[in-house]
């Protein structure tokens, strides 16, 4: 009788060692790695335009915008993620002297896709809420005009949804505004003229 081998679980240290040598990005949750999916044109346009708009507002201030390749570690759950956009407003704290894993984000943005939407809304957000420095979590849909902002209001996270291109998302934690017209300026939705 054949048996199925149990998946090998990694320690956080083993994950970091492998990840720093990897040619692809993998997130780490509960001892398992999760390969990052390839991004669509819409995902890339939304990420770049959002990061650019935030960076333009924050360029001369204390906050810094980071995209793509920097990991965030959730210390309490020993999970590692690659957010689409990170804003850090205090001195960035790294996990170690390699400086590729941030411990203190102020704001995180995830651009949703069909394959990651449930994961980003539920499991990932459950982990992110454990980061003491995190004040806002932004989810941006790429297949329709919809931005969800979660803002920390102890002991809860208050959600606000934006669904009209004329809407402007106020990002209190970083003292910025994010007009949906900027977020979606290069995105064409199915069924639109």
Instruction: Look at residue 2 and tell me whether its pLDDT is greater than 60.
Output: no
The 10 Å Cβ neighbour count of residue 81 is: 22
Assign 193 a pLDDT band (cuts: 50, 70, 90): very low
- Residue 191 has a pLDDT of 60
According to DSSP, residue 94 is labeled: B
On whether the CB atoms of residues 136 and 175 are closer than 8 A, the answer is no
Assign 16 a pLDDT band (cuts: 50, 70, 90): very high
Name the one residue in this structure whose structure tokens are 């040619």: 23
- Which tokens sit at 102? 């941030």
Which helix (H) or strand (E) is 54 found in, with range? helix 41-58
On whether the CB atoms of residues 56 and 64 are closer than 8 A, the answer is no
- The CA-based dihedral angle spanning residues 159, 135, 104, 123, taken in that order and rounded to the nearest 10 degrees: -20
* Cα Rg of the chain, angstroms: 17
Quick: pLDDT tens for 114-172. Answer: 888 999 999 999 999 999 999 999 999 999 999 999 999 989 999 999 999 999 999 99
- Residue 190 has a pLDDT of 75
pLDDT top residue among 6 and 80: 80
Q: Determine the Cα–Cα distance for residues 178 and 51; give it in Å rounded to an integer.
A: 10
- List, in order of start, the domains of the chain with CATH numbers: 39-183 (3.90.1570.10)
Mean pLDDT computed over every residue of the chain: 93
On whether the CB atoms of residues 73 and 131 are closer than 8 A, the answer is no
Instruction: Look at residue 1 and tell me whether its pLDDT is greater than 50.
Output: no
């Amino acid at each position: 009788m054949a048996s199925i081998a149990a998946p090998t679980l990694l320690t956080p240290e083993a994950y970091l060692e492998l990840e720093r040598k990897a040619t692809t990005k993998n997130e780490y949750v509960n001892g398992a790695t999760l390969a990052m999916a390839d991004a669509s044109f819409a995902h890339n346009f939304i990420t770049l335009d959002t990061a650019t708009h935030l960076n333009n507002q924050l360029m001369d201030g204390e906050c810094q915008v980071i995209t793509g390749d920097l990991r965030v570690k959730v210390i309490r759950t020993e999970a590692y993620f690659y957010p689409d956009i990170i804003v850090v407003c205090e001195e960035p704290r790294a996990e170690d002297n390699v400086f590729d894993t941030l411990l203190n984000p102020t704001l995180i943005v995830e651009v949703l896709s069909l394959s990651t939407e449930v994961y980003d809304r539920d499991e990932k957000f459950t982990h992110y809420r454990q980061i003491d420095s995190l004040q806002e979590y932004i989810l941006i849909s790429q297949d329709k005009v919809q931005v969800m902002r979660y803002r920390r209001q102890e002991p809860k996270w208050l959600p606000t949804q934006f669904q009209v291109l004329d809407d402007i998302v106020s990002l209190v934690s970083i003292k910025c505004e994010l007009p949906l017209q900027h977020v979606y300026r290069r995105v064409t939705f199915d069924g639109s003229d």
